[in-house]
Amino acid sequence: MKKPTRKKASAKRTPPAHPAKHASAKHPRSQQNKASVTLDADGKLTFNHAMVYVKDVERGLSFYRDLLGFKLIEDFRYENKPVYARLRAPGGDGTIALHQAGPEVSVLSDGVRLYFEVRELDDFCRNLEKKGFHITQLPRMMPWGWRHAYLNDPDGHEISLYWAGENRMKKTVMKAAQKAARA
């Protein structure tokens, strides 16, 4: 049985600066056992990424990378088949990871929806439709003042494509949102 291999998005490969066997000698034990938490410069917790379990990572890559425009950061392969991939959103620093689910594992994710914001929502959705992708709800103004479209990825994970603009970090005002929806 072959060992999993790691493939980076770029073809350029450089050897690690320090061999792994020497790493423990250079770092105190207390540093090695600390919890893995992403912190910003002020020591506050930040969001790192969402892990999406899929039945076929290659199919997931075709959707997230080729249709939605995510950029491949890295992937891991087993017997030359991707079993894990990490991708960056085309318009920011947000990342997702696609992880191969086992053959008997369900990838249903009731209660979880992925949200991706795009300024030109209507154009983006039209382009997806031109590529043959089905959108379950075309863009429309929602009562909370954000314009949303809904679709599902190839494994059935629910996705909202939306535009909130300046309202994204503001408290929702339903009356103003309803007025905007009627306009």
Q: Which two tokens stand for residue 35?
A: 């919890």
Q: How much is the pTM?
A: 0.70
| Whether residue 36 has pLDDT greater than 60 | no
- Comparing C-alpha atoms, which of 153, 138, 47, 25 is closest to residue 98? 153
The SS3 assignment for 109 reads coil
Q: What percent of the chain has pLDDT over 90?
A: 55
Cα–Cα distance measured from residue 120 to residue 88, given in angstroms and rounded to the nearest whole number: 19
In which band, very low, low, confident or very high, does the pLDDT at 35 lie, cut at 50, 70 and 90? very low
Q: Which two tokens stand for residue 60?
A: 């997931």
Cα–Cα distance measured from residue 87 to residue 97, given in angstroms and rounded to the nearest whole number: 6
